[in-house]
Structure 1
Amino acid sequence: MVVRRGRSCSGLRSLPLSRKLSYFDGEFEKLYRSRLLPASASERSRVLEALLRCGPPASRTQAADGGGRGTRIAFAAVVLLLLGCLLLGSRPGSSFLSYCGRALLIQLLPYWDWTLYSYSDCLIRNPYYFEKGLDSLQLTDCISVCQKHPTVESLHKVDPKVVLQNYLRQNLPLKITDGAEKWVAQREFTVPFLTQLYSDHPALQDTKVCSYWDSHHSLENSPGAFLEKVHRQRLVRWAIQWKNCNKAAAKVIRAFYQRPYFLPPVVELAESNWLLMASQEENGVMEDTFVKVRDHDGDLLMWIAQLQGTFEVQLLPKDICASKCTHYTLQLSPGETVAVPLQMWEVQYRPFSSVAIALAATGNWLQDPR
C-alpha cells in the first residue's frame, strides 16, 4: 500500500509547527475516510511510518559514518591537548605560546582595552582601601593632632568602630586599659618561664629570630642563650628584644595570646610578633637610654601589650610632624595595651620597674574613604 503525499519532505520541513500539525491532521483524515488504514496496529504503524518520518530512515552505513566521525573528532581533541601540554612543558614551546598570546592581545587591543586590567593592582576593589592613605599626611594634620590631643587617651571596653573612626583615621595613639587582661601570656610570661620555653621547645630552638638586640651585645643572637646568662650571672641591668619572624616560632608565641579585641577588621596583623624585656635595679634611677622598636616591614600599625612590670613608652613624631609636635609619654601596666599608627609615630621604651616584659605585633592598616 502506497501513501501519496501532496507535499515534499523539504517543503514540510520549512513549514512552522502549527502548519505541520494541520497538514498531518488532514492526511490522517484522508486515510481514515478512504478506509486505507489497516485494522491491526502493526500494519497501521507501517502505513503511517512514511508519513510521520517524511523520508526514508538513515541507513546503517550513514550511522556508522557518523559514529566514526565522532571518534575521529575526539581523537583529534586529545592529540591537540597533549600537544599543548608538551609545548607548555618545554621552554621553547612555552615561549612560542607566550608570543602567540601577546600577538593575540595586540590584535584585540582596538576592540577591547585589556590594559585597564593588566595595569591594575586589584581586579576587585577593596572598600577599605584609600589610594592617598600613605601619602596624605600634611603639616596641618600634624598640628591638628598635637594641639587637640596633648596626651594619649585611655579607654576601657572600647568599640573597634570607635578605634577606627576616632583614632586610627586621625593618626592618634590610644591606650586600652583592658587590652590584654585575659591573655595566658600575662600569667605565664616571666623570665624563668621564657628561659625554659626557649631552651626546650623544638620550634624555638631550631629557628633563628629577626631584629635581635640586647644591651650586652652578645655574639650568639639567641634569646635562649641571653636569658640563660641573665639567670646564671644574675644580671641587674639588661634589655633584650627580638622578632619571631619564623612562622613556626611565631605560632608558638601566638598560642599565649589572642587578637586584640579593640582592633577593627580593617587591620590585618602580621604573622610575626615581638618580645620586649628589660630590667633595672629596684628603687634605682632609670637610665636615660630608650630602646627603639625597629624593622616594621612597612606596616602601619603597632600594638604593645604589657605582661609583667611597667614600661615607660615614648611616641616620637616622624618626618613632617617632627617640627610641630612633641613626643607622647605614657606608662603601661600589666594588662594595658597601646595602639600606635606608625605613619606618624615612632616607638621607644625603657623599664619603669625591676623587670618588665611586653608583647608586640604589627599590622597593615589602610585608610578607607571618609
Structure 2
Amino acid sequence: MIRANQKMFAKGCRKKVFRNDEKTVKIIKDAFFMLNIIYLRQAASLVDLRDVSNAVQINATKGSKLKAHPTCTWRIFSGILLMTLTYALFLQTSGINFLIKYAMGTRCLIPNNYFVWEITRPVSNCKFCQGVNSALILSNLTRDQFKFYAYSSRPMIVKNATNHWPAKKVFSLFFFRNLYESIEGAYESVQEECQFLHFRSDLASLKEVLSMTDRRALNLAGEKSWYVGWKNCHPQVLDVMREFYQTPHFLPEDAESPYTNYVFLGYEQGAVMHLDYISRLMWQGQILGSKTWSVVPTPECGNVCNSFDFSVDAGDVILLDTRVWYHATNVKDNQFSLTITSEYG
C-alpha cells in the first residue's frame, strides 16, 4: 500500500506538474533531501510536531462547528511544511551544496523521505496500542512457547536470548573495520545498495566511521560522541557475520526473514524518534551495552494510547512493530552499545 502510494505520488509529480522540466524536478529532489536532513539531524520531536498540529487544528476550527480530524490535520501540516520548503528552494538554491554531503547513502528519493511516508502511510488502527503501558518481558523461551506472542504489535523483550552468540566476544568497531577493508566492494555496497544512518553524528559514511581515531572510537574525554547504523547487503560480509550470530531461535519456523541485517553502534543518544517503513516486524539483538527505548503511538492514537520507556540489556532480544510505534533509543551510562537488527514475518 505504501509503495503503491509512493509510486503514484512520484508519477503524478512528474506527469502533471513538472512534465518536461528536469531542472525543476532536481530542485524538488533537493527539497526532499533537505527535509530528510532536518528530520534526522535536528531530531524533530514527535511531541513538538503534534503540538503544532493541534495548534493548527484549534486555529482553523475556532468559531466553526466543524472540527478537523487530527490525522488529517497532521498530514495537512506535513504537506504544508513540504510545500513551503519546496517553494523556498525555488527562490534560493544556495543550500544545495550543503545537501550533497548529508544526502550520501540515500539512493532513492521517495523511499527514504519520512515526510512523504508520513503523509501517505495508512491510518493506524489504535487497537495495537490500547491498554499497553509497558513492554512485555519474557524469559528465554522455546519456539512453541513463543507462538502465542509471535506476531503481536506489543513491544516485547526476551531476556538472555543472545548470551550464547559468539558475537558478544567478537563484534566491535575494529572487527567491522577489518571485515570491510578485507572485502572488495564492501564499503561501496553500503553507499550504493544499502543504507547508512548517521543520526546526530557528524560522520557521513561507514568508511568515515571505521576510519576514526582510536580515541574517538572509545569515546574518551574531549572526543565527540557518536552513534550510527548501517544496512549490510554484501553477501561476503553477511556470510562472515553469520558465523557469530543466528536468527533468534524462538521465532516461528515459517517466518520469512531477509538475509540482510543492520548494525547499530555507538554511545549516548542513539536513534532519534522515527517510524520504520518496512514490510515485516523487527527484532534486535542487544550484543553489547544497554539501551533505553522510548516508544510513542502514531499521532492519530495519541488520545487513546500511552507513550512509555523500557530498558534492554546485553543478551536481550527486543521485538517491536516499528511500523506503528515511533521509537527512539538512548545508550545508558556512557556504555558502548552494539546491536544486530533484522526483520521477520
Preserved CA contact (<8 Å) 1:207 1:249: no
- In the alignment, which of 211, 236, 252 is matched to residue 195 of structure 2? 211
Q: Which residue in 2 is equivalent to 1:337? A: 317
Q: Assess, with a 3 A threshold, how the Cα gap between structure 1 residues 241 and 135 changes in structure 2: closer, same or farther.
A: closer
Deviation at 1:345, TM superposition (A): 1.9
Query: Would you say 1:173 and 2:158 are equivalent positions?
Result: no
Q: 1:182 to 1:175 in 2, by over 3 A?
A: same
In 1, the alpha carbon distance for the partners of 2:282 and 2:213 equals 28
CA contact (8 A) 1:270 1:361 kept: yes
2:286: which partner in 1? 306
> CA separation in 2, counterparts of 1:293 and 1:208?
21
**1:138: which partner in 2?**
125
Contact 1:299 1:342 in 2 (8 A): no
Greater alpha carbon shift after TM alignment, 300-309 vs 234-243: 234-243
Alpha-carbon deviations, 1:144-191, whole Å to 9, x = none?
Answer: x442x42112111223344332x3444212100122111111111122
The runs of 5 or more residues in structure 2 that have no matched partner are 1-120, 218-222
Cross-structure match for 2:338: 357
Provide, for residues 88-122 of structure 1, a one-character-per-residue CA deviation record: whole Å limited to 9, x for no partner: xxxxxxxxxxxxxxxxxxxxxxxxxxxxxxxxxxx
Correspondence 1:1-370 to 2 at 5 A? 138-139=125-126, 141-142=127-128, 145-147=129-131, 149-165=132-148, 167-202=149-184, 204-205=186-187, 207-209=189-191, 210-214=194-198, 215-219=200-204, 221=205, 223-231=206-214, 233=216, 235-280=223-268, 290-292=271-273, 296=277, 298-318=278-298, 320-354=300-334, 355-363=336-344, 365=345
- 2:152, 2:299 → 1: CA distance? 16
Q: Closer, same or farther in 2 for the Cα pair 1:169/1:241, shift >3 Å? A: closer
1:265/1:137 CA distance change after superposition, 3 Å: farther
Aligned residue pairs total 216
**Pair 246,320 (structure 1): closer, same or farther in 2 beyond 3 Å:** farther
* Deviation larger for 305-314 or 338-347: 338-347
One-letter amino acid matched to 1:228: S
Is the alpha carbon distance of 1:233 and 1:345 closer, same or farther for their aligned partners in structure 2, counting shifts above 3 Å? closer
User: Over residues 304-342 of structure 1, what are the superposed CA-to-partner deviations in whole Å (9 max), with x where a residue is unaligned?
Assistant: 111111111222223543432222322221111101123
| Equivalent-residue separation in structure 2 for 1:308 and 1:138 (angstroms) | 35
Q: TM-score when scaled to structure 1?
A: 0.51
Classify the secondary structure of the residue corresponding to 2:265. Answer: strand
Task: Call closer, same or farther: CA 1:358–1:228 in 2, change over 3 Å.
Answer: same
Q: Counterpart of 1:350 in structure 2: which amino acid? A: N
Q: Flag the 1:321–1:250 CA change in 2: closer, same or farther, 3 A.
A: farther
| Structure 1 residue 137: Cα displacement | 6.1
Taking only aligned residues, the RMSD between alpha carbons, in angstroms, comes to 2.9
| Percentage identity across paired residues of the two chains | 19
Residues 203 and 248, structure 1, Cα contact 8 Å, conserved in 2 = no
Letter in 1 for 2:237: A
Which amino acid in 2 is paired with 1:217? D
Greater CA radius of gyration, 1 or 2?
1
Counterpart Cα distance in 1 of 2:294 and 2:234: 28
Question: What is the aligned partner in structure 1 of residue 63 from structure 2?
Answer: none
> How far did residue 204 of structure 1 move?
2.9
Letter paired with 1:138? N
Shift of 1:248: 3.5
Q: CA deviation at 1:295?
A: 5.5
Which residue is 1:102 aligned to? none
1:347 and 1:200 map into 2 onto residues whose CA distance is 34
Counterpart amino acid of 2:165? Answer: W
